[in-house]
Amino acid sequence: MTGTQIFFLIVGAATLFSGLMVVTTRNLIHAALWLVATLFGVAMIYAILDAGFLAVVQVVVYIGAIAILFIFAVMLTRRQAAETGPSVNANWWAGAFTAVVTFAGLTFMLKSWSGFSKQAAAIPSGFDAVNQLGNALTSPTGYVLPFEVASVLLLAALVGAVYLAFNKK
């Protein structure tokens, strides 16, 4: 194994662990911080795979915006630090069983896939992925409509959060 592969395994294990902590921790702020760690691990995996643009977008958009927005939303709603009632669903075993069956099915399906042993094709020297992505997002024949709809939805969510934060009771 090369050093990059070992680093990939370490980062992958840390990302999986922090993802598990997101869904198992009881405190919402701690869950949000574990989510930041998970998203940072995904950004590191993008960087290992030489997808620098995606790594930067992961850090700026997901960690810098969405996770911080989640933390602010929790803080602005003035939730109690001590939760009342049970924090574990009584039917947790059904979710765990479904997760194990899904994982087993995916493992069985991907066991014979030849993509695990293949090497990726070399990227040509003049290839500009960021330019092509920008053209795809902003050209009228590309993804400009979903891109703009997503921006309007995020703006509506921001306005709603500000309204809820300053709503007098």
What are the phi and psi torsion angles at 121 (to 5°)? -70, 150
For helices 28-48 and 68-76, the axis angle rounded to 10 degrees is 170
| CA–CA gap between residue 90 and residue 95 (Å, rounded) | 10
15 within 8 A of 45, measured Cβ to Cβ: yes
Predicted pLDDT at 108: 92
Predicted pLDDT at 87: 63
Residues in CB range of 8: below 8 A, 6 or more apart: 45, 48
Angle at 126 between CA 144 and CA 124, to 5 degrees: 100
Mean pLDDT computed over 51-78: 82
More confident residue, 119 or 151: 151
Query: Domain 1-81: which CATH class?
Result: mainly alpha
161 within 8 A of 76, measured Cβ to Cβ: yes
Give the pLDDT confidence of 130-141 residue by residue, as tens digits: 888 888 878 888
Give the pLDDT confidence of 154-166 residue by residue, as tens digits: 889 888 878 877 7
Domains of the chain: which residue ranges?
Answer: 1-81, 128-169
Going by the DSSP 8-state scheme, the letter that residue 5 receives in this structure is H
Give the pLDDT confidence of 142-157 residue by residue, as tens digits: 888 888 898 899 889 8
What's the predicted TM-score (pTM) here?
A: 0.63
